[in-house]
Amino acid sequence: MGIVIASILWGFAEATLFFIIPDVLLSAVALRSGKKAFYACCYALLGALIGGTIMYFWGVTNPASSYQIVEKVPAIDQAMMQEVKTSLASDGLLSMILGPAKGIPYKIYAITASGVGISYAAFLLSSIPARFGRFFLVTLLSWAIGKYALPKWSCKSKFIIWAAAWLIIYTLYFWNNPS
């Protein structure tokens, strides 16, 4: 039950104003159980969809304040906000689906979508592959590394590698995206 609640809350938090992706939790769960990790991905998606819905309607009702607040989230700046607006206007929701590969937070797409004419239904449906795709791929990769690349390693050793990997990932991310 703890993983369910944590996954929902982390998915929700990262879709709104938290800046650490749920993949951190999901990849940790995957080191112990692929099946539990898959379900955790689904719950993180649920949380992300709820958070994305709130952010979408915040962008509808008060775009100026949503932009001001989201721009204060670590690693988000005005240039990234403008890039999302431009890409949503030119490429539509495909840009949101591909956004995670560029390290662009979902929350920016959520508050920007209505302003470029994207309906809530289209936004919500596109949010599923946009969120679940990365959740699942990172989780699958973590599970495969734990099961096949490090099968004889202790759980403690796997978690040390996991922690080091996320530390490196976030160090590089914040280095490349100062705000």
List the Cα angle 102/108/114 in 5-degree steps: 125
Chain segment 133-153, per-residue pLDDT in tens: 999 999 999 999 999 999 999
Instruction: Judge whether residue 178 has pLDDT over 90.
Output: no
Mean pLDDT of the residues in the chain:
97
pLDDT (average), residues 108-132? 98
List phi, psi (to 5°) of 75.
75, 5
DSSP 147: I
Decide: 121 and 57 in contact? Cβ < 8 Å.
no
- How many structural domains are present in the chain? 1
What pLDDT, on the 0 to 100 scale, is given for residue 123? 99
Query: Which of 51-60, 97-106, 112-121 is the least confident region?
Result: 97-106
Q: What is the pLDDT of residue 141?
A: 98
- 53: nearest Cα among 132, 119, 139, 144: 119
pTM (predicted TM-score): 0.95
Handedness of CA 9, 10, 14, 19 (dihedral sign): positive
Q: Which domain holds residue 61?
A: 2-176
One-letter-per-residue 3-state SS of 60-109:
HHCHHHHHHHHCCCCCCCHHHHHHHHHHHHHHCCHHHHHHHHHCCCHHHH
Nearest to 75 by CA among 54, 102, 49: 102
